[in-house]
Structure 1
Amino acid sequence: MSDKYLQIHPDDNVLAALRNLYKGDKVKHNGGEFVLATDTRAKHKFANRDLAVGESIIMYGTLVGKAVSPISKGETITTDNVVHASASYGVGSERSTWTAPDVTKWKGRTFMGYHRADGGVGTANYWLVIPMVFCENRNVEVMRSALLKSLGYDTNSDFIVDTETLVRQYRSGADETELLGSDLIKTAAQIKQDRIFPNVDGIRFLNHDGGCGCDRGDSDALCHLLAGYVTNPNVAGATILSLGCQNAQFKIMEEAIMERDPDFSKPLYVLEQQKSKSERHFIEEAVKKTFLGLIEANKLERQPAPLSKLVMGLECGGSDGFSGISANPVLGYASDLLVALGGTTILSEFPELNGVEQELINRCKTKESAEKFSELMRAYSARATAVGSGFENNPSPGNIKDGLITDAMKSAGAAKKGGTSLVEDVLEYTEKSTKKGLNLLCTPGNDVESTTGLAGSGSNVICFTTGLGTPTGNPVAPVIKISSNNALNKRMKDIIDFNTGTIITGEDTIETKGAELLEYIIQVANGETVPAAVRLGQEDFIPWKRGISL
């Protein structure tokens, strides 16, 4: 391909600028040549032929907009001359077929994970502290301060400065020379070795603002979401703090746990404050029981597991005009590789599948799944339109600035994260994934609400593509950040784990980077590589309250 511009699909009537282009630059296309009519910044698109008012804008081979003013060949498409438009869709008899990629290289490969009684395998081993209602958030924070430092979980850094050594030396009478000569640095390996429970990766506290004073549907959904976290393979057990009178009753959560795992056997301690002697006794008992749970969790050690035990969430956020060309297709290829190996992948964010519904419907393995996806998409779109927030409002200012000017354009690129494999199942929010292969999960487009939902449906690792950069993480599923361009990778190296910008510069292919990404995912699943979001303590948890969130 040219190192200056790219036609993504043969049917496209726009070209994507791979670097800044300027009015008068010559463009060679389809055996001909024309000059740019306007400056076009990298990541933006320009017409490869004259377009009349009302004419369709085609990108990725699909409808992504309509011209609202005449657009000359070589002119940049913008929010001034193009509006959102997407293709219609329906469930018919057409079903796609799929040729799996060659995965001989990974046959027999394993990762070192934590095996659970229900057959799941964790890529991490966490203990949860969960409030059933926001009223318990303060007690959760008291527990956090009581547990993390004393048990060695107060940092996720590569090193710490051990000030307590100075305090001990000072109290024992050390002079200035001795104090200045002290070795205070502890490495990550030393920190882990010093932990009371070295086989427990951490304690996670799921503070939230729900559970009461809200729609009963939201409180019930919260209970199901929390059940998804407790049964997630990365979780060893949990301490549940209930006030007692809230809408989100533990009984609802318990029933949801049993739906997911009828033989549930993880340690679970449930405490109700309104039945306690006092707040002090309540917190004291919670800390003691959590300590007992950690003793049990620490007995588990990593053991080999087939790659088919990986459940990979597919997420994007802070997308740019390169996301659908580099990062998302690379993740999509890694998804196809994992599916071919018998693993599970989950594609979320339904507002960002607008315009590619028909392709996904045709990829659904069963008519039932196709109908379920179609109904969920129509219902979401109708609710969004009813409150004046139709899908056309989805691109953020950052998306638009960096080349994603319509929702359909953004969606066509975002859907590339799902690769090309068939859709095995379609999941409602909080539903657990039970079928191997690609699953579609109904979540909002909000990054944190979506990643929260992915972990609640069983993801034991999440891959998150970004073109602009975002620090989003998750409490229980390690989040791998994948940059779409070299500039972001260089500028925000502290939060980026894997770079696909070399696709844009022509140094790599989708296939080579996709295979490289799968190897990186295996390293993370082994626990040998810690993603930046985990290292930086980015543990974002926001339950979706089922309102419209784009």
Structure 2
Amino acid sequence: MSDKKETVLRIHPHDNVLVALQDLPAGTTITFDGDNITLVTDVAAKHKFTMTDLGTDQEIYMYGVLVGKTNGPIAKGSAITVDNIHHAASDFKLGERKLNWHKPEVDKFAQRTFLGYHRADGSVGTANYWLVIPLVFCENRNIMVLKDALVEKLGFRKAKTYETEVDSLIDLYQAGNSVESILNADLQMESGERSQKKLFENIDGIKFLTHDMGCGGTKSDSDALCGLLAGYITHPNVAGATVLSLGCQHAQASILETEIKKRDPNFSKPLIMLEQQKIGKESTLMQEALKQTFAGLIEANKLERTPAPITKICIGLECGGSDGFSGISANPALGYVSDVLVSLGGSVILAEFPELCGVEQELSDRCVDVDTAQKFMHLMRTYNARAEADGSGFYANPSPGNIKDGLITDAIKSAGAAKKAGSSPVTAVLDYPEKVTKPGLNLLCTPGSDVESTTAEVGSGANVVLFTTGLGTPTGNPITPVIKLSTNTRIFQRMPDIIDINCGTIIEGTETIDQVGERILNYVIDVASGVVQPKSVQLGQDDFIPWKRGVSL
């Protein structure tokens, strides 16, 4: 730390750049470790600046790892940018197992329980949903017809629809108002929820997972889709499912059934499989789907929440709209939560493999055995090679928003993103869409795209997702509560309708990482018990995008 910890931060002793914790104008003198650094450029909050003069092709280190190299000489006290440095990361190889880690104090949580839905396979849900799924995109229309018929009548319509605002616009137009006056009008705002009382009190909702896959693409993509859908059907947050099949598509019902058995050999949930080409008339298909779904809902409603140990919570670790504070506030706080849950015997999932570029050596060394380490390294190399063959690579992962807010290279972004995983050993490496079967830290191969990655984490078993954001993003999931955590206070105050927890207090020095982590875990327990609904659930943010195994960063 510098003598003004509210101004700059050195993340790791080996780093040769400092992070600005607030906007610093050119000419500002920073005293760090007895050295005076006068800034020769403006340095915006979240961005980094050099501690010494650097020559051409010199290495840049953050979080103790290589994150870039200089394009030319950079003067001491200069901001690093996309113009003066480029992505670089260290190579990785099979190393020695490094399984010693600092276990956090867990006494506060050792006896904690949550109220969940106990399933026959021993898993426990944090919610109780019924799914309606198309095996192929050809059935999407029928799925939406079922949605229109069921959701409001059964009292599951919650999200604000803005219909009252549209009524106000119609009234203004019919009254002869000008376009300018309409644009400047204060619209009548809808208040409260529009839904009637729920018919089935113990069911959280019916979710309709439309997609654009199942046929017309590669056979491997349709097979992976069946695996993902099987992950959702067997998920602890799901009571049962209605599946519509056309009949002639690649994604056959038999493949889905095989994938279900892989994940739950004694599968016993209600599963309704209807094939349109066998049934014939659409009206007959719809009536059969409605009757059987309604009967399934009656059975699903009989289940009630009962206590379960918090080790039955499987947390998905996710980030989106990341910024330069992600790796020093919200992500390390998630790392603390991860380590606590793992210490108690629970499971967590770290995904987004393009955002682990540069930290492969650390993570592979943390794998519990050689086979696990080799699987991780193979997936990383194969994925990056496929991306490069298509004219891209992990280096192309940072978005314009990431770069604008301090994540200049993929390695910088990755080094901060990996902090979500804490310090525990890696117990398993999973290839999409494999299911979590072991407690501890699981690495799941997914894209860095937050919706695809969140979709995959839930398919692998996450029944709560913790999602950090520095820029603000509304991502949710149909069946698993997604809790949003801001890396900075400004975005928390600007977007309180989509963000649940502020981790910016770490940057401000008013809370420690451990204190914020404890606050997060207490909130997770409340959400898992159904006591609190995170904003993504309140908004009906039901994002669901299966990964086509082609390149997606």
Q: Tell me which interval the TM-score lies in, with the shorter structure as reference length.
A: over 0.9
d(CA) in 2 for partners of 1:390, 1:410: 14
CA shift for structure 1 position 187: 6.3
* Equivalent position amino acid for 1:243 in 2: L
Give CA-to-partner distance per residue, 1:146-198, whole Å, 9 cap, x none.
0001100112469999xxxxxxxxxxxxxxxxxxxxxxx9967x968x21101
d(CA) in 2 for partners of 1:490, 1:27: 29
Match status 1:357 vs 2:360: yes
Runs of 5+ unmatched residues, structure 2 = 165-189
CA shift for structure 1 position 96: 3.0
* Equivalent position amino acid for 2:251 in 1: A
Give CA-to-partner distance per residue, 1:29-76, whole Å, 9 cap, x none.
111212111100001000011111111000000000001111111000
Match status 1:135 vs 2:138: yes
d(CA) in 1 for partners of 2:280, 2:256: 25
d(CA) in 2 for partners of 1:160, 1:109: 43
| Residue from 375, 397, 406 that aligns with 1:394 | 397
TM-score, scaled to structure 2: 0.93
Equivalent residue for 1:146? 149
Equivalent residue for 2:10? 7
Percent identity between the two aligned chains: 61
**Contact 2:152/2:195, CA 8 A, preserved across alignment:** no
Partner secondary structure for residue 337 of structure 1: helix
Q: Aligned residues, how many?
A: 525
**Contact 1:353/1:414, CA 8 A, preserved across alignment:** yes
d(CA) in 2 for partners of 1:187, 1:268: 34
* Equivalent position amino acid for 1:465 in 2: T
Match status 1:405 vs 2:408: yes
CA shift for structure 1 position 95: 2.3
- The aligned runs of 1:442-461 (5 Å cut-off) are 442-461=445-464
Give CA-to-partner distance per residue, 1:99-122, whole Å, 9 cap, x none.
311101111110000000000000
d(CA) in 1 for partners of 2:450, 2:162: 29
d(CA) in 2 for partners of 1:296, 1:94: 49
d(CA) in 2 for partners of 1:104, 1:440: 27
d(CA) in 2 for partners of 1:109, 1:255: 37
* Equivalent position amino acid for 2:500 in 1: D
Equivalent residue for 2:38? 35
Over 3 Å counting, the alpha-carbon distance change for 1:57 and 1:122 in structure 2 is same
Runs of 5+ unmatched residues, structure 1 = 162-184
- The aligned runs of 1:117-196 (5 Å cut-off) are 117-156=120-159, 194-196=197-199
Equivalent residue for 1:67? 70
CA shift for structure 1 position 398: 0.4
Equivalent residue for 1:79? 82
d(CA) in 2 for partners of 1:215, 1:371: 27
| Cα RMSD (Å) | 1.5
d(CA) in 1 for partners of 2:460, 2:276: 29
Equivalent residue for 1:259? 262
Match status 1:367 vs 2:408: no
Partner secondary structure for residue 442 of structure 2: strand
Partner secondary structure for residue 151 of structure 2: helix
Equivalent residue for 1:337? 340
| Residue from 507, 523, 526 that aligns with 1:523 | 526
| Residue from 203, 227, 241 that aligns with 1:200 | 203
Match status 1:236 vs 2:250: no
**Contact 2:97/2:369, CA 8 A, preserved across alignment:** no
* Equivalent position amino acid for 2:245 in 1: S
Partner secondary structure for residue 399 of structure 1: helix
Equivalent residue for 2:174? none
Equivalent residue for 1:113? 116
| Runs of 4+, deviation exceeding 2 Å | 92-96, 156-161, 185-188
d(CA) in 1 for partners of 2:407, 2:463: 30
**Contact 1:159/1:191, CA 8 A, preserved across alignment:** no
d(CA) in 2 for partners of 1:97, 1:250: 46
* Equivalent position amino acid for 2:381 in 1: R
Give CA-to-partner distance per residue, 1:402-430, whole Å, 9 cap, x none.
00000000000000011111100000001
* Equivalent position amino acid for 1:279 in 2: E
**Contact 2:97/2:368, CA 8 A, preserved across alignment:** no
Equivalent residue for 1:536? 539
Equivalent residue for 2:419? 416
d(CA) in 2 for partners of 1:286, 1:51: 67
CA shift for structure 1 position 236: 0.3
- The aligned runs of 1:424-435 (5 Å cut-off) are 424-435=427-438
